[in-house]
Amino acid sequence: MIRYALRCRDCGHGFDGWFRSSADFEAQGARKLLACPVCEGHGVEKALMSPAVAAAPERVPRTGGAVTSAPAGEAAELYRQLQEMARKVRAEGHYVGAGFAEEARRIHYGEAEGRQIFGEASGQEVRGLLEEGIAALPLPPLPEDKN
Is 42 a binding residue for Zn ion by CB under 5 A? The answer is no
Given 33, 39, 70, 98, the residue binding Zn ion (CB under 5 A): 39
Stretch that binds Zn ion, among 15-23, 33-41, 104-112, 137-145 (CB under 5 A): 33-41
For residues 140 and 147, give the distance between their C-alpha atoms in angstroms, rounded to a whole number: 16
Packing angle, helices 100-108 and 123-131, rounded to 10: 10
How far apart, in whole angstroms, are the C-alpha atoms of residue 36 and residue 44? 7
6 binds Zn ion (CB under 5 A): no
Q: How far is the CB of 56 from Zn ion (least distance, A)?
A: 33
Asked whether 119 and 96 are in contact (CB, 8 A), the reply is yes
2-8 sheet: strands from edge to edge:
14-19, 2-8, 44-46
With respect to Zn ion, which residue has the nearer C-beta, 25 or 100?
25
* Interface with Zn ion, residue 8, by CB under 5 A: yes
Binding residues for Zn ion, rule: CB under 5 A, are 8, 10-11, 13, 36, 38-39, 41
